[in-house]
Amino acid sequence: MDAMKVLGMDAVGVGDRDLRFGIAYLRGQIKRTGLPVVCANLMDKKARKPALTPYLVKKVGAVKVGVFGLLSDKVDLGPARDSLMVSDPEAVARKVVADLRRQGAEVVVLLSQLGKVESEDLATAVPGIDAVMVGRNAPMLQKGRMIKNTVACYGGDRGQYMCRTVLTLDARRHSTTGDAEAYMLGPEVGEKPEMVKLVKSFEDALNEKLRKAERERAASDQAKTVDNAPDHFLGAEICQRCHVQEAEQWKTTSHSVAWQTLVNAKKDATPDCIPCHVVGFKQPGGFVSGVTTPSLSNVQCENCHGMGTRHEAFATSSKITEQTCITCHHGENDPEFDFDKKLPRIIHSNLSGETIQTKKDKMGAAPPMPKGHGSN
């Protein structure tokens, strides 16, 4: 749509693919770009009126030209199907042509998204259309066709050709004959700097989007691979099915908001920080990313007690030792860590909530993560 704006389009038709993100999104883009978008038979179900501007009349030289758009009533409207409907193209065309003529349009042009056969059938059935631009899976034909008194042009749908339609008018400015021809946009057609910039910006953004999707796909594939390991992490949601009281007490500790501290500090993509704020980072069944494995964020049961699939092994001997804690609470991470002092603050019998309150106070007051951030 930005490119169409640069090209100086006088009118733009609507196809079903333009509705793939819904009507609200399309309207937003029309408003942003100011493009003269027309479609006469795309109807708002509730209001029972056109969802977009149905047509326009533009003075071209001394001639008044009316332009309207039509959408096939056989298309899938995607997410817009609940709020929109497509009225019968032929019935709408008859009414619109009459309206345009009453408003003084001397030439009437249809921007058709009906496909080749339906466009030709409509031009045969509805008098008063001087030219039709055939769209929606349309073929590329070098020369246009005269269908009764309507000239049709076929430029394909890949943007490699542009059609020129020439109408000959009589003294009363009524079309008498028409001719249409498609021209290939080859190397001899010069590039417009503003258009090149638009294309490069689009391609760069698309490349980054695809790269991000590939990273997420790779992470997801890795997660699926490690999930198949005999021993793997399960997540607190599984543990709390039996250990309800322990899970409720855990929610009163700073361990339950460990991931948010990274988010606040904008360190949630830093590999050196993530392992101590999630469950089993890059280990079998463990945390991969905030997108793919959000349920494994924060310091959970298995960080202290071990992998859930080894439950039978540690169920009778799950005593927490200093070695368990100093995996994360050591050196610069927590220089003042004292196991004997800190353990009583987070054991399951402590319901005071003192550690999470201290952490939340810090999270609200100081987003950057200081040295010794794990001291609570």
Classify domain 2-192 by CATH architecture.
4-Layer Sandwich (3.60)
Span 241-267, average pLDDT: 88
In this prediction, what percent of the chain has a pLDDT beyond 70?
90
Give the C-alpha separation, 283 to 227, whole Å: 9
Cβ-based neighbour number of residue 257 at 10 Å:
20
Q: What is the pLDDT of residue 255?
A: 93
Cα–chain center distance at 84: 20
Give the C-alpha separation, 256 to 266, whole Å: 18
Is the predicted pLDDT of residue 292 greater than 90, yes or no? no
Query: Among 33-37, 330-334, 342-346, which is the least confidently predicted range?
Result: 330-334
What is the CB-side half-sphere exposure of residue 43 using CA atoms within 13 A? 14
Please give the full DSSP string across 190-257, using - where no structure is assigned: PPPHHHHHHHHHHHHHHHHHHHHHHHHHHHHHHHHHHHTSSS----HHHHTTT-HHHHHHHTTSGGGG
pLDDT band, very low/low/confident/very high, at 160 (cuts 50, 70, 90): confident
Average confidence score pLDDT of the chain:
86
Is the predicted pLDDT of residue 122 greater than 90, yes or no? yes
Query: Among 145-154, 167-176, 327-336, which is the least confidently predicted range?
Result: 327-336
Q: What is the pLDDT of residue 198?
A: 92
Cα-trace Rg, the chain: 33
Give the C-alpha separation, 12 to 17, whole Å: 14
Span 348-367, average pLDDT: 68
CATH number (1.10.1040.10, 1.20.910.10, 1.10.1130.10, 1.20.1250.20) of 229-365 reads: 1.10.1130.10
Query: What is the distance between the terminal CA atoms of the chain, rounded to a whole angstrom?
Result: 53
Q: What are the tokens at 232?
A: 């793997």
Query: Among 258-262, 336-340, 359-363, which is the least confidently predicted range?
Result: 359-363
- Whether the CB-CB separation of 88 and 118 falls below 8 Å is answered with no
Q: What is the pLDDT of residue 375?
A: 39
For 300-328, the pLDDT digits (tens) are: 998 888 888 888 766 666 678 888 898 89
Span 349-362, average pLDDT: 74
Q: What is the pLDDT of residue 369?
A: 47
Q: What are the tokens at 207?
A: 């490349």
CA angle 28, 51, 113 (to 5 degrees): 95
Q: What is the pLDDT of residue 270?
A: 77
For 323-342, the pLDDT digits (tens) are: 889 889 987 778 888 888 88
For 48-107, the pLDDT digits (tens) are: 899 999 999 999 999 999 999 999 999 888 888 889 999 999 999 999 999 999 999 999
How would you classify residue 211: left for phi > 0, otherwise alpha for psi between -120 and 50, otherwise beta?
Answer: alpha
- Range(s) within the chain of domains with CATH label 1.10.1130.10: 229-365
Span 1-16, average pLDDT: 93
The pTM score is: 0.59
- Range(s) within the chain of domains with CATH label 3.60.21.10: 2-192
